Amino acid sequence: MTSFKNKCVLVSGATRGIGRAISQAFAEQGAKVALNFRSDLKSAEKTISNLTGDGHCLVQTDISCADNIPDLIDTTTGKLGGLDILVNNAGIGIYHPIATSSYEEWQKAWQQTLATNLFAASNLSFCAAKTMMDNGGGRIVNVSSRGAFRGEPDKPAYGASKAGLNALGQSLAIALAPHNIFVGTVAPGFVETDLAAERLAGPEGDSIRAQSPLGRVARAEEVARAVLFLAADGSEFMTGTIIDVNGASYLRT
């Protein structure tokens, strides 16, 4: 793995699950990591205390509020001394099946999901790119989902937001390449995290694992490895790509 020594990295949704694994992986390779989180200070403090190396920081911000993003980027660059890599990892999934949801519930689910999963990533990318342009370039990596391709019938806003994130990444890859900023996307399937633990341990667990011919779901570290690959020097000509990390549980053509 390429060393990220002294690289300055901002990870949204950084203190649990996939975000935690991404933060740890960058830190192990020598990066200085800003861990963004919304409200769970206890998890944030636990995560940062376990990171390898020095110079890491916590940045508590609700990224679903657009007005918060410029200050988040300014705070991050101030604390780290720059910004080389942005990882848009934060995401939510709200159940709102059309057959059983009220119109009010439907509206709320769409508004909250898009605000966090798509609009926040767009706003973070905009502000981070402005900083990167002034400093010779950088990397943006988005964490999407296989749900963008196969559909999410019980969480349609989630599937749509991730499909939008894929398109955003590809559009930015074209727009930002002249500025030496390269953009990639990782699309996991089911991942073994704290949030998924109850479902994996319950009646659905075996059928979820059976979706992959490997007979299991992804580990968060495997998703992190793909993120670091796209963020590394030497991956420039992969800009615009989407890497599936779903254990062949869904194959797109």
Residues 4 and 26: beta-carbon distance below 8 Å: yes
- For 107-134, b/e burial (b = at least 16 CB within 10 A) is eebbeebbbbbbbbbbbbbebbbebbee
Q: How far apart are CA 151 and CA 93, in angstroms?
A: 13
Q: How far apart are CA 192 and CA 17, in angstroms?
A: 8
The set of residues, in sequence order, having a beta carbon less than 8 Å from that of 139 and lying 6+ positions away, is: 84, 85, 86, 181, 182, 183, 184, 230, 231
CA angle 247, 94, 204 (to 5 degrees): 45
Q: How far apart are CA 102 and CA 79, in angstroms?
A: 44
CA-only gyration radius of the chain, Å: 17
Tell me, yes or no, if 158 is annotated catalytic. Answer: yes
Report, as residue numbers or ranges, the catalytic residues: 158
